Amino acid sequence: MTPGMSLPFSAAAEPVDERPLFDAIITPPASLGERGFSTFMAVTLAVVCLVDLALMAAGLWWAILFLTGNLVFLLAAFIAVRRARERSERVVVQGGQLRLERHWKGGPGCADTLPLFGLRLVRVRDGAGHCRRLELHSRSQRLCFAADLTPKEREAFAEALGRSLHRAGFAIAMPVQPY
């Protein structure tokens, strides 16, 4: 090499955005959408108002207080249940790790990361053979997840996770334990 001669500089290849091996979001089931919930509440309120008018015409004011109090408690219970359903769990397998993220109302939540090496996905079953709980075991850590799924959905979720890891060359233990 002669003085003053420059060597071509090749930039180091930037890491390619690695696509996750497995990515799933688990949310609680919802039987009513926003419109259905609003319709249900409006119909319930209308029925209670009509019954209150009939009771007022009959002179039974104490029954009006009781019925209206029940409506208030019913509304509070439905709103509390809807608020509790605004949560989700995300399971992501990427870069040799499994990340379990828990969110509430779409905001920041908590996240746990477990290495795939030595990871066990335990399916806890009851006496009838239904999958009651899914647990991730890694050394001293033990995480329960997918509580919002039905037993059949939990089983299918565990199988899908195991298959995707197997295709990627990872082998995780999937024992079954009694409830």
CATH number for the domain spanning 105: value is 2.30.29
Q: Is 113 helix (H, G, I), strand (E, B) or coil?
A: strand
Identify the residue with better confidence: 161 or 10: 161
Average pLDDT across the chain, whole number: 83
* pLDDT tens by residue, 6-37: 445 444 554 555 788 899 999 888 777 788 88
Show the DSSP H helices in the chain as ranges: 34-57, 61-84, 151-167
The pLDDT of residue 6 is 45
pTM: 0.67
Residue written as token pair 């397998």? 93
Q: pLDDT tier at 179 (50, 70, 90 boundaries)?
A: low
Question: What are the φ and ψ backbone dihedral angles of 158, each rounded to 5 degrees?
Answer: -60, -40
The pLDDT of residue 43 is 92
Q: Could you give the CA distance from residue 62 to residue 152 in angstroms, rounded to a whole number?
A: 49
The pLDDT of residue 162 is 87
Q: pLDDT tier at 106 (50, 70, 90 boundaries)?
A: low
Q: pLDDT tier at 105 (50, 70, 90 boundaries)?
A: confident
Are 105 and 137 in a shared domain? yes
Strand pairing partners for 97? 94, 115
Range of the domain at 129: 22-28+87-178
Count of domains observed in the chain:
2
Are 92 and 158 in a shared domain? yes
The pLDDT of residue 4 is 52
Whether 28 contacts 149, CB under 8 Å? no
Q: Could you give the CA distance from residue 178 to residue 174 in angstroms, rounded to a whole number?
A: 13
Q: Could you give the CA distance from residue 118 to residue 129 in angstroms, rounded to a whole number?
A: 26
Structure tokens at 8: 């071509």
